């Protein structure tokens, strides 16, 4: 989909589930892969060592969440309300022009995480990159739909079963 386009329909697909966390990823109509699968295939073999280190940090945090602690708030960079980014920390000494790798997510609760896509951030703010802004805008749209559905059913985001039903049945 082109940057700046929010008009696709789709579903949220369960990609990882453990006792600690259920992770979903958007899969838009006509697409073969979820947004997380796209992120993995696009960024899993980046040649620059700094970006490879960022990718490894993202995977390590996801493993920790799945295996150990769930989607704790302190594991994410804040991008505005429930939209988050991984990794939390990026080392200060970096080669000029390389940028940092980000994975954008919606943290619903410690038990439910929606993973979108991401990419290399070479600008100060993600809003200055049309591709990253599109990824975050699409996640904001999804989060808003979940929020509206939760309000209609009077479900609290901490009510795992109720929110899980919404996520598994909502059209995004």
The answer to whether residue 16 is domain-embedded is: yes
The answer to whether residue 99 is domain-embedded is: yes
Q: How far is the C-alpha of 83 from the C-alpha of 107, rounded, in Å? A: 7
Take residue 137 and report the two structure tokens written for it. 């805008």
Q: What is the pLDDT of residues 73-110, one digit of tens each?
A: 999 998 877 899 998 776 656 666 678 999 999 999 99
The answer to whether residue 5 is domain-embedded is: no
Give how many domains the chain has, as a whole number: 1
| C-alpha atoms less than 13 angstroms from C-alpha of 143 in its C-beta half-sphere | 23
CB 61 within 8 A of CB 82: no
Stretch (H or E) spanning 24: strand 22-28
Point out which residues pair with 155 in neighbouring strands. none
The answer to whether residue 4 is domain-embedded is: no
Q: Which domain holds residue 164?
A: 10-169
The answer to whether residue 1 is domain-embedded is: no
The answer to whether residue 135 is domain-embedded is: yes
The answer to whether residue 138 is domain-embedded is: yes
Is 0.85 surpassed by the pTM of this model? Answer: yes
The answer to whether residue 94 is domain-embedded is: yes
Q: What is the pLDDT of residues 44-81, one digit of tens each?
A: 998 899 999 999 999 999 999 999 999 999 999 988 77
């Amino acid at each position: 989909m082109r940057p700046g386009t929010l008009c696709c329909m789709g579903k949220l697909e369960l990609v990882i589930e453990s006792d600690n966390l259920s992770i979903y990823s958007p899969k838009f109509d006509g697409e073969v892969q979820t947004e997380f699968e796209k992120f993995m295939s696009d960024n899993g073999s980046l040649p620059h060592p700094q970006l490879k280190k960022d990718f490894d940090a993202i995977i390590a945090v996801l493993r920790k969440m799945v295996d150990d602690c769930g989607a704790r708030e302190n594991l994410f960079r804040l991008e505005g309300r429930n939209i988050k980014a991984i990794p939390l920390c990026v080392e200060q000494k970096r080669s000029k022009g390389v940028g940092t790798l980000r994975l954008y997510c919606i943290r619903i609760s410690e038990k439910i995480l929606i993973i979108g896509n991401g990419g290399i951030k070479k600008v100060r703010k993600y809003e200055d990159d049309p591709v990253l802004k599109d990824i975050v805008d699409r996640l904001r749209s999804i989060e808003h739909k979940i929020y509206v559905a939760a309000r209609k059913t009077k479900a609290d985001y901490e009510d795992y079963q109720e929110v899980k039903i919404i996520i598994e049945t909502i059209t995004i």
